[in-house]
Amino acid sequence: MEDFDDRDGLIWMDGRLVEWRQAKVHVLTHALHYASAVFEGERSYGGRIFKSTEHSQRLLLSGDLLDMPVPYSVEQIDAAKALVLQVNGLTDAYIRAIAYRGAGAEMGVAAVSNPVRLAVACWTWGAYYGEAKFKGARLDIAKWKRPSPDTIPSAAKASGLYMICTMSKHAALARGFSDAVMFDYRGYVAEATGANIFFVKDGEVHTPLADAFLNGITRQTVIGMLRDLQIVVHERHILPEEMEGFEQCWLTGSAAEITPVGEIGPYRFEVGALTRRVAAEYDRLVWA
């Protein structure tokens, strides 16, 4: 695999298309030191970015939640993403938009006067979980928990909130797993390190209530899709021991798409008919 700083292509940075290898920031960029950054991960299918506007809207919301207003409109961000796809000659790709507090006159915790920058890149990216997308991912149980929403802006897709996700996934990979499930500060099942989670029991779907973690756009899409199919969906708090009684499980996310889960720690799940149906319906939707 190519290193991400050594590729051909163009990256959009504050209104300019920059050669990939020259898309750089200063070492004293505020975001590098204080995690003052928000981002979006999106996919395009056949040249169309799925839910592009919803992602751009959430990017602006995330910036506001971090007291870091992004100086671009939804329309400008949508246009930048479409342009990046076009100039790189890609139709089926992953798109990353990131807004961050740049270098400026301040280099402490407070940096109100520093400019907020925006960059957009795209690249080809296959199944996030590799073969697990078809066979069922193996998940560990993380030791780190999602914090209380009165300690972090849990509705923001903020870079700093992923630190414990990185640590948890590294630990899981070292133990031979694809990922890890995280509980929240109360001990309820929350999500995987970069994807939301769903369970099936007796033909009905159960998913953790998104009150302490990001309510993913793919998560919302799948819930709406299930209800359109007349499948009962329970958004609720789920205790870890309840996983023993669930029959099927899958993950959702822009990168993960719909990925079945075969095991979480000591719990086992089948890649059943409903999981396969949801994956097929989601594929139909994004390629429509």
218 falls within a domain: yes
Residues 118 and 147 in one domain: no
pLDDT band for position 133 (cuts 50, 70, 90):
confident
- For 161-215, what is each residue's pLDDT tens digit? 999 999 999 999 999 999 999 999 999 999 999 999 999 999 999 999 999 999 9
1 falls within a domain: no
- For 145-169, what is each residue's pLDDT tens digit? 999 999 999 999 999 999 999 999 9
Residues 81 and 149 in one domain: no
Domain boundary among 104, 123, 142: 123
Q: What is the helix (H) or strand (E) element at residue 135, kind and residue range?
A: helix 132-135
Give how many domains the chain has, as a whole number. Answer: 2
Residues 85 and 196 in one domain: no
* Separation of alpha carbons 224 and 52, rounded Å: 17
| Percent of the chain at pLDDT exceeding 70 | 100
> What pLDDT does 1 receive?
75
Indicate which CATH number applies to the domain containing 63: 3.30.470.10
Domain boundary among 78, 103, 123: 123
Rg (CA), the chain: 19
Residues 258 and 138 in one domain: yes
pLDDT above 80 (res 92): yes
Residue written as tokens 């400019």? 115
140 falls within a domain: yes
> What pLDDT does 49 receive?
98
4 falls within a domain: no
* Separation of alpha carbons 27 and 264, rounded Å: 40
Residues 115 and 212 in one domain: no
Indicate which CATH number applies to the domain containing 165: 3.20.10.10
**Which structural domain, as residue segments, surrounds residue 222?**
132-287
Residues 235 and 282 in one domain: yes
Which are the catalytic amino acids? Answer: 157
Residues 179 and 271 in one domain: yes
